[in-house]
Amino acid sequence: MIDPRFSAAAFREEGAVEQLTQELETMLTARLRFAAQPEQEAYAMVEDLRQLGHDLWSFDASDEMQTWCGNWTEPEKDPRVFIDFTYREGMPPEVSITVKRRLSTR
C-alpha cells in the first residue's frame, strides 16, 4: 500500500509536486529493490497508485523495464505522471518519475 499523501490530487497542487515526486521515487525504488520479483512488484505498485487516482497506462515493457504514463489520448488531464521501473540483471532496480504539466495557452 502506498501512503495516500501521494494521491493524484496531491500532484495537482503545484507547490508540492517536486518534493512529492522525489519522495515517491525514493519510496518506490526501495520497495522495488527489496522485492523478490521486481517485475511483479512494479505491477503491484502501479495498481496501488491507480487506487490513489493516478491515471496510469502501460507505455512500454520488456524483461528489464516498464514505462507507465497517463492516457495520451486524453491530453487535457493535468499533470501527466510518467514512471519508469528498471530492473536489469546485475544492476540495482530503480524507479524514475517525471511529472509534466500542460503548457498554458493563455
Query: What SS3 class is residue 25?
Result: helix
The grid coordinates listed for 70 are 497517463
Question: Which residues, 6 or more positions from 6, have their beta carbon under 8 angstroms from its beta carbon?
Answer: 20, 23, 24, 27, 49, 52
Mean pLDDT for the chain overall = 91
The residue behind cell 492516457 is 71
If one compares 14 and 51, the residue with the highest pLDDT of the two is 51
User: pLDDT for 15-71, tens place per residue?
Assistant: 889 999 999 999 999 999 999 999 999 999 999 999 999 999 999 999 999 999 988
Q: Are 30 and 85 in contact (CB under 8 A)?
A: no
| pTM score, whole prediction | 0.89
pLDDT at 106 over 80: no
Residue ranges per structural domain of the chain: 4-100
CA-wise closest residue to 65 among 44, 49, 89: 89
What are the two backbone dihedrals, phi and then psi, of residue 67, each rounded to the nearest 5 degrees?
Answer: -125, 130
